[in-house]
Structure formats: C-alpha cells, structure tokens
Amino acid sequence: EHEQIGPAAWVLRGYALAYAPELLNAIQILEQISPFRHMTTPGGFTMSVALTNCGRFGWSSDESGYRYSQTDPLSGKAWPVMPDIFMKLASEAAAVAGFPRFQPDACLVNRYLPGSRLSLHQDKDERDFSAPIVSVSLGMPAVFLFGGLKRTDKARRIPLLHGDVVVWGGPDRLRYHGILPLKDKPHPLLGSVRLNFTFREAG
Ligand code: MD3
Ligand code: FE
C-alpha cells in the first residue's frame, strides 16, 4: 500500500516489516560501538530523543551547532559502517517512490521513549537537497507532523507504525516536520520504545 502525501512524498505502509528482525539485530551491535545519547541543541536544551548514527557521516549537535561529521564525538572514532541490509532497504524504498539512484552515506537512528518528542524543524544540514530522505519506523506508533515550507503552515497529522517507510524528495524535502510526544503503547517486539532510521545523502 503506497500512499502519496505530497508531490514527491510517499508512505510505504509496512514496507520494512520483513526487515525488522535484521534491523534490530544490527542496532544491538551498532549501539555497542556508538551508544544512543541525548544531544544538546545550540539553544542549550537537551533532546528528549536519544540518537546514534552509522555510515560514513553522522549527524550531531552541541552548543555550537548542528553538523555531519565522519567521527563520533563520543569515541573520536569513525561511525560504525552502515550494514548492507540498511543500504538495500533504503535504496529499494527510494526507487519505489521514484528515486532510483539513492545512495545514502548517513543513517541517523532516533530512539524514543514514552514522552519523547521532536519539535517542528526542517532538515537542511545536508549538502544537496536534490537527494531524498528515507525514514523507517519500528516499535511504538507515533504521530508525525507534516507541515509546509513555513513554520506556521498548517501541519497534517500522519500516524507512523512499526514497519512503515516514508520517502521525501523534491519539493517536499524541505517541509517542516516533527513528532508529537509519544504515548506509552508497548510494542510486542520492542516494548516501550520507538526507533526511527533516517537515511540521507549527507556528504
Ligand atoms: C519530512 N525524524 O531525524 S522521520 C529527523 O520519526 C526526523 O524520528 C523523525 O525528523 C522521526 O530529522 C521523522 C520522517 C522525516 C524525516 C525527514 C524529513 C520526514 C521528513 C525531511 C523532510 C521532510
Ligand atoms: Fe527531520
């Protein structure tokens, strides 16, 4: 089931379901190298979402700004390699949505607990906005806010469930978006956790 939510934005319901066990297995290994951590924003707030990365580039934040870097600021070492299965899932999903040459070099993994939220923002730390972003949701359901190109544009509320994949490109790439505070609706595989993977061409 492929639901179009913008000129170049698609929800692929359940597209990642079959990949979930392998994704979860990979996360267990990944988090031993680069653990989930709560980053500080330039405004001085601590994010309620914990995050880690894999791939050549990883996203991070501190008092001085947001950036992609080739090393994990916690370890000083390279981010863990992106598993082949991540690359396969992301590039297949992008192709289904009309982006046949997507080659992500960054995978940001967000971990939500009950009450975690992500306030309305744009993703504009990547070098080239012509590449899409692919997002994969696992675990507890979330309500995704899908806004416009201005912060004040009215946002649609779209539920994102375990296994859902969303692809955003073209004119939808710079839309404001966010996640409402998570309710505690434990998932059979993950318990009271939501994981979101976002694949990008960052570098
Ligand atoms: C729409 N993550 O990591 S994924 C993020 O569920 C982020 O953790 C959310 O926003 C999450 O930056 C939402 C869906 C998403 C990702 C990137 C987008 C939607 C987007 C970029 C442009 C427009
Ligand atoms: Fe975002």
DSSP-derived letter for residue 128 is -
pLDDT higher than threshold 90 for residue 1: no
Q: What percent of the chain shows pLDDT beyond 70?
A: 100
Burial of 84 (0-12, 13-18, 19+ CB in 10 A): exposed
Query: Angle at the Cα of 115 (from 24 to 124), degrees rounded to 5?
Result: 70
Closest residue (by CA) to atom 8 of ligand 1? 196
* CATH superfamily entry for domain 2-32+55-200: Alpha-ketoglutarate-dependent dioxygenase AlkB-like (2.60.120.590)
Average of per-residue pLDDT across 11-39: 98
Pocket test for ligand 1, best of 109, 122, 123 (most atoms within 8 A of CB): 123
- At residue 123 the predicted structure's pLDDT band, cuts being 50, 70 and 90, is very high
Residues with CB under 6 A from ligand 1: 108, 110, 118, 123, 133, 135, 166, 168, 172-173, 175, 177, 179, 196, 198
pLDDT higher than threshold 90 for residue 87: yes
pTM of the model: 0.97
Over residues 156-188, the pLDDT tens digits come to: 999 999 999 999 999 999 999 999 999 999 999
Helix (H, G, I), strand (E, B) or coil at 189: coil
Helix (H, G, I), strand (E, B) or coil at 100: coil
pLDDT higher than threshold 90 for residue 110: yes
How much of the chain is helix, strand and coil, in % rounded to 5? 15, 35, 45
Q: What percent of the chain shows pLDDT beyond 90?
A: 99
Average of per-residue pLDDT across 127-139: 97
What's the rounded Cα separation, in Å, for the pair 154 and 185? 27
